Amino acid sequence: MFEGDYVEFCKKWLNINAEKVHGGKILEVGIYDSETTIRKITEKMNPNSYISVDKIEGIGADKEMQHYYLSDLFGHNVFDVVISVREINIVKDWKKLIREMSLVLNVEGILILTAKSPTNITNCDDPNVEWLFTKNDLYNIFRGFSIQELTENDNGEVFFAGMKKEIALNDISNLLVYEVN
């Protein structure tokens, strides 16, 4: 059950990093559920601000925008925590999305990320999925981060990553991942 898994993982990582959440600036990239469960959990921890962005109109995001322009809108090194649930699976340009999330995240900031993997690809029921990521892919993409946890759900279909930004994102322009189409 992915939905419960992602909520529990995000909740765990928000609690582990409570000092960054309390009084911090939080960005949610892509709203996975219209109930904004992650927002409710986070707001109980009293952040200074919580902003959600999504490219889809009308699902409850604070800002409706393409994710590729986060740094243009917010600037660099602005957020203490960035949360993204499966968004890298459904965007056309995952590399640009990763770069933008890295740019807006403070050094020592926390990135909480989930991504679908190619395990059981025949059971991939989401027609919006463009990309799938292996554990090795995520390690290669986030070499400029201190990955503190990278785990899978029980059936190996989803990875959950909690990491701290240490330096700028490495060049990922030549990395290849599993393309669905």
The predicted pLDDT at position 123 comes to 58
Q: What digits encode the pLDDT tens for the residues 110-134? A: 999 988 888 766 656 667 888 989 9
- Cα separation, 35 vs 174, whole angstroms: 37
CATH class of 2-179: alpha beta
Q: Where are the domains of the chain?
A: 2-179
What does the pLDDT read at residue 152?
A: 87
Q: How far, in Å, CA of 113 to CA of 110, rounded?
A: 10
pLDDT digits 0-9 by tens, 27-51:
999 875 656 578 888 999 999 999 9
Question: What local confidence, expressed as pLDDT, does residue 1 receive?
Answer: 37
Indicate the DSSP class of residue 84.
E
Quote the pTM value. 0.91
DSSP string for residues in 107-171: EEEEEEEEEE-STTGGG---TT--EE--HHHHHHHTTTEEEEEEEE-TTSSEEEEEEEE-SPPPP
